[in-house]
Structure 1
Amino acid sequence: MLHGKKVLLGITGSIAAYKSAHLVRLFVKAGAEVRVVMTEAATEFVTPLTLSTLSKNPVLSSFTNDETGNSVWNNHVELGLWADLFVVAPASSNTLSKMASGQCDNLLTATYASAKCPVFFAPAMDLDMHAHPANGANISALQSFGNHLIPSEVGELASGLSGEGRMAEPENIIQFIEETLRAGLPLSGKRVLINGGPTYEAIDAVRFIGNHSTGKMAIGLAKAALELGAQVHLILGPTSQNLNRSGLTLERVVSTDEMHEAVMKALPKADIIILSAAVSDYKPAEVLTRKQKKSESNWSIALVPTVDILSDVGQKRTSGQFLTGFALETNNEEEYAQSKLEKKKLDLIVLNSLRDSGAGFGHDTNKVILFDRNKNRTELPLMSKDEVAVRIFEKINELHA
């Protein structure tokens, strides 16, 4: 949810400001671009140098910058328009009061008043200050404006008292923001099961049968599902591709049997299933435990069919589960794809042709045709696999409303 987002972090004068360095680090680790704006009081608790080093951006704390000897205006309007998210953490009682009443006597509150993006605030103050009716009224006012309260936590406070008023821990702030962002998305609450990449079938101790699939299409599909708010279970065959995102469970397998077992185990919890893996259709009838030595004579290997994962899922899925398969063909492409759609009981099939330049294994681009259960045909131009993934989910959302 935070990958690629522009996050403006506002830090106010609270002892909890020491946690802001960790919060910046977590935003950056999640793939966000972070800029920091501080009140003058906040600089007494954590240094701008620390935060600029972690965020890799200058830290702003006043309306003008005089470091060069020439006053340069720090444009609060541009800051507010730049951000995808404005997070005020910690939010002191003083700053909450200014935000609620519209006071703009510092760069942070002026930027807040100019922000067009979602605003999150995490109060941090001592027990009695937090419980004061005026503070409660300010929090309520900010929520009525559409701002998101990240609730304070209970624990030991700087005064030595124990109770509500601690700023939420940085990890909890990240989780709260991601869950809030995810809640309004089309696939919020949905579980998506995707498989991808090749499978390898062992011949002997060192050799295998495989194919040239890289898993790039599956990675694109997983990213698209996550951006739409889904929880994703991605099962990848042997490939160098990797993805590490909140909301993603990544499981790695090697053989078709292992892929089948992993898919069938995850199937009952899935709402949407997309089987894009290029699984091996055959495997050796017998696997040698040692390496077969080279000789002058021919070496024949008896092959037997592997389990048909797509057919098995088509037979065993429930009526509420949406199933998408892939077809990679070299001739009579559309005929074979439509036959596969019917035979394997799919809702949607994605056809790739190895005859299309820039499509198929190894490329960052793909050119596909979508056939759905309603006999509709949608041909897409050559585009990146990430873009193809987005278009596939547009079709799934259209059919799986």
Structure 2
Amino acid sequence: MADRNDFSRFEFSKMRLVVAAGPTREWIDPVRFLTNASSGKTGWEIARNGLSRFAAVVYISGPCDAAYRTLDGATNVAVDTTADMAEAVLKALCKNSLLIMAAAPADYTPVAPAEQKIKKQPGETHRTIELRPTIDILKTAGENPPERCIRVGFAAETEHMKEHALEKLQRKNADFICGNEVYRDRSGFGEVQNTLHLFDRAGSETVLGPMAKDRLAESLLDELERRLR
């Protein structure tokens, strides 16, 4: 966790912005995988908006929608699995950096991925696949962070958003967390508009939106810059 007493001395123009975006894939067999509906747009918009503010931008993207896989002007790192994303994020962090974990990495991975395509068997009524948790990227980044490294997480929730977001903020030793509600028939994953609830460790809440994701990214960086400078 960054020293709160140093927050007034952060200058974006002298910092590296590290943004992780999109989903990850956890392979069940060579042709099937676990993933989610994240498009990568929010993270891409944050990184794009950061190009004019930060000394450098590292954009780490999972298998996003095609439009959000790379960003001109940034250092682009393409990843596939949650382990890949964790390795890239931890490598990119440095002194005077800001990590925004806007990605939605898979929380579980198969214990024993099949080497060949799994075949449906005659008369088969169900199949059980044993899963284990993947590495928690934000939590790991907070265990031994570089000096003056600010960490911002995201909490996409279907219920009790504020409660879950604040719990994640403390458990993962982050400095800020952005809570947002996701539903199949409402704003969230893949949608153009969204609302973010920015929380700090004191429980202070700032609501950003609802607004288009490009404006939301700008508003989020504006608010973080206001709090940190």
What's the TM-score, normalizing by structure 1?
0.51
For the pair 1:338 / 2:163, whether they are aligned, the reply is no
From 40, 65, 72, give the equivalent of 1:245.
72
- Distance change (3 Å), C-alpha of 1:272 and 1:249: same
Report the residue type matching 1:195 in the other structure.
A
**Aligned pair in 2 of structure 1 residues 242, 280: CA closer, same or farther (>3 Å)?**
closer
Query: Residues of 1 paired with 2:81 and 2:205: CA distance?
Result: 33
* The one of 205, 211, 221 aligned to 1:377: 205
Unmatched runs of 5 consecutive residues or more in structure 1: 1-185
User: What is the aligned residue count?
Assistant: 215
> 2:218, 2:16 → 1: CA distance?
17
Q: RMSD over aligned Cα, in angstroms? A: 1.7
CA contact (8 A) 2:24 2:106 kept: yes
1:351-390 equivalences in 2 (<5 Å) = 351-355=179-183, 358-390=186-218
Q: How far apart are residue 283 of structure 1 and its match?
A: 0.4
Aligned to 1:207: 32
CA distance in 2 between partners of 1:227 and 1:302 (Å): 45
Matches within 5 A, 1:201-240: 201-239=26-64, 240=66
Q: CA deviation at 1:244?
A: 3.5
Q: What displacement does 1:327 show? A: 0.1
Moved over 3 A (4+): 355-358
Note the C-alpha offset of 1:358.
Answer: 4.7
- How far is the alpha carbon of 1:205 from its aligned partner? 1.1
User: How big is the shift at 1:368?
Assistant: 1.3
Q: CA deviation at 1:245?
A: 2.3
Deviation at 1:202, TM superposition (A): 0.4
Contact 1:193–1:270 at 8 Å: present in 2 too?
no
Contact between 1:284 and 1:303, CA under 8 Å: does it hold in 2? yes
2:219 is the alignment partner of 1:391: yes
Q: Which of structures 1 and 2 has the larger relative contact order (alpha carbons within 8 angstroms, sep 6+)?
A: 2
1:375 is displaced (CA, Å) by 2.4
- Is the 1:352–1:359 Cα contact (8 Å) retained in structure 2? no
Per the alignment, residue 5 of structure 2 pairs with none
Shift of the alpha carbon at 1:249? 0.4
Secondary structure of the structure 1 residue equivalent to 2:13: coil
Q: Distance in 2 between matches of 1:224 and 1:358?
A: 25
Q: Which residue of 2 aligns with 1:320?
A: 148
Larger radius of gyration between Structure 1 and Structure 2: 1
**TM-score normalised according to structure 2 size:** 0.88
Work out whether residues 63 and 69 of structure 2, in 8 Å CA contact, stay in contact via their aligned partners in 1: no
On the 8 A contact 1:196/1:278 being kept in 2, the answer is yes
Is 1:271–2:67 an aligned residue pair? no
Note if 1:196 corresponds to 2:26: no
Tell me whether 1:262 sits opposite 2:88 in the alignment. yes
SS of 1:291's equivalent in the other structure is coil
